[in-house]
Homo-oligomer: A and B are copies of this chain.
Amino acid sequence: MKKNAFYAQSGGVTSVINATAAALILETKKHKSKIGKVFAGKNGILGALREELIDTSKESLSAIKSLKNRPGGAFGSCRVKLKSLDENKKEYQRLVEVFKAHDIGYFFYNGGNDSADTAHKVSQISKKLGYPISCIAIPKTVDNDLAITDCCPGFGSAAKYIATSTLEASLDVASMSATSTKVFILEVMGRNAGWMAASSALARSKKNDAPHIILLPEVIFNQKKFLNRVKKIVELHGYCVVVSSEGVKNNKGKFLAESESKDAFGHVQLGGVAPYLGSLISNKLKLKNHWAVSDYLQRSARHIASKTDLLHAEAVGIHAVRYAIKGMNGVMPVIIRGKSPKYSWKIKPAPLSKIANVEKKLPKSFISKNGFDVTNKCIDYLKPLIVGEAYPKYRVGVPSVIELKLIEVRKKLTPWIS
């Protein structure tokens, strides 16, 4: 029986999430007897609730293919978490209403742990509300903190950006250090998991190369030890490169950036571990420093995407469709790494119940004894994920972005009031 599909993007976007979308849409075209149109939710699950469904069949084939090179979420993402079916049945009834109205039998939700939770809840519609649906969550997060999957699409590209940026900025500061900047600090994302900060270690090609200190959210920040280490490294090498996760906390469990700094208005300044550390180093060590916060730049840097990551992103999109037409429900296509030293991977389905709301942090064996670095085991894990380049096309010096039409399906229902 032929049914339409709903696809939506959720949570923080990545540089390759649209590659997943493109691969998914193209794969559905190979299964025309089972899947009709793909409706993309405008702004994630909100698109389903509000009946704002973008008809991807109105886009040209070349526009769909070009999504592969476009960072951000082409259909709009959202930070919305559905309550449980028991707590807010109305929302799920609305979903069923919209699915029925548009003959939707497949639900694809592309996101991180929160989104896996949403997808897991939606997957219960079949049993609890008696509306048959194949609900597949598709992994995506630069934080790399999803359970079961070996890695998350989006992470490899962000990691490649961080490793490359750390390498490049290190060469810069190294050349300035004789008479100017001694310490350079790069703040990276990753929330409570240190995967992104850890990936800066890939900048090294030999011992003592930058980064010299990696601050992970898994390790409680010790100001004295940190400053001693910075001082020692500057004495030894002439300069010091620090990569810090945004999520680093002090021994009271508070984020560094919100622990002491106040802004011009007397409000606690959120974000900004790097300026916090910079000011610490200026004041306590009197060392000239520079700091960078790459923020959205790191997760949208399609221009330096990892080819391996891009292949992962496409593969999970393709497998999501294959699982759906097999009638699977409440699963996620995850990446399984082969056991031989040469990197290999395949995609397998995993139950959402084991993925939703679980946060995978750096294991202890990946963190060095002194807490300021990662181990070789961690580097061996990370290395293959950033291999390969996958440049976008450029037009007059900047990456070419093809505009989508984003034509919405005519609404059939009364407006949704949440």
> Footprint of B on A, CB under 8 Å?
9, 12-13, 15, 43-44, 46, 70-80, 160, 163-165, 167-176, 178-180, 184, 186, 202-203, 205, 259-265, 267, 269, 271-272, 274-276, 278-280, 282-283, 290-297, 299-304, 306, 383, 385-389, 391, 394-399, 401
Inter-chain contact A300/B396, CB cutoff 8 Å = no
Question: A263 with B290: in contact, given A296-B173, A301-B165, A386-B397 (CB under 8 Å)?
Answer: no
Question: Do A294 and B294 have beta carbons less than 8 Å apart?
Answer: yes
Chain B residues contacting A280 (CB-CB under 8 Å) are: 264
Interface contact A386-B398, CB-CB below 8 Å: yes
Q: Is the CB of A304 within 8 A of B306?
A: no
Contact A260 B264 (CB under 8 A): yes
Contact A168 B265 (CB under 8 A): no
Chain B nearest CB: distance from A308 CB in Å? 8
Closest to A176 in B: B77
Distance A387 CA – B75 CA, assembled complex (angstroms): 29
The residues of B that contact A70 with a CB separation of less than 8 Å are: 171
* Copy count, this protein chain: 2
Q: Which residues of B contact A300 (CB under 8 A)?
A: 168-169, 171-172
Q: Would A271 and B295 be within 8 Å (CB), given that A276-B264, A383-B396, A397-B202 are in contact?
A: no
Asked, given contacts A169-B296, A267-B279, whether A401 binds B176 with beta carbons under 8 Å apart, the answer is: no
Among A44, A293, A386, max chain B CB count under 10 A is at A293
Whether A13 pairs with B175 at a CB distance below 8 angstroms is yes
Given A72-B174, A79-B180, A304-B303, are A391 and B388 also a contact pair (CB < 8 Å)?
Answer: no
* Nearest opposing residue in chain B for A383, CB measure: B396
Residues of B close to A172: CB separation below 8 A:
13, 71-73, 296, 299-300
Q: Using known A-B contacts A77-B176, A180-B79, determine if residue A265 contacts B283 with beta carbons closer than 8 Å.
A: yes
> Are A389's CB and B394's CB within 8 A?
yes
Complex: A195 Cα to B292 Cα, angstroms: 20
**CB contact between A168 and one of B46, B303, B386, B395 (< 8 Å): that residue:** B303
CB closest chain-B residue, reference A289: B271
Select one of B74, B168, B272 contacting A71, CB under 8 A.
B168
Decide if B12 touches A78 in the complex (CB within 8 Å). no
Distance A260 CA – B265 CA, assembled complex (angstroms): 8
A155 → chain B closest CB, angstroms? 13
Extra 17 A-B pairs, beta carbons < 8 Å, given A168-B303, A271-B291: A13-B176, A44-B179, A73-B172, A77-B178, A79-B176, A164-B398, A164-B399, A169-B300, A172-B296, A202-B396, A202-B397, A261-B263, A263-B283, A264-B280, A265-B283, A291-B295, A383-B397
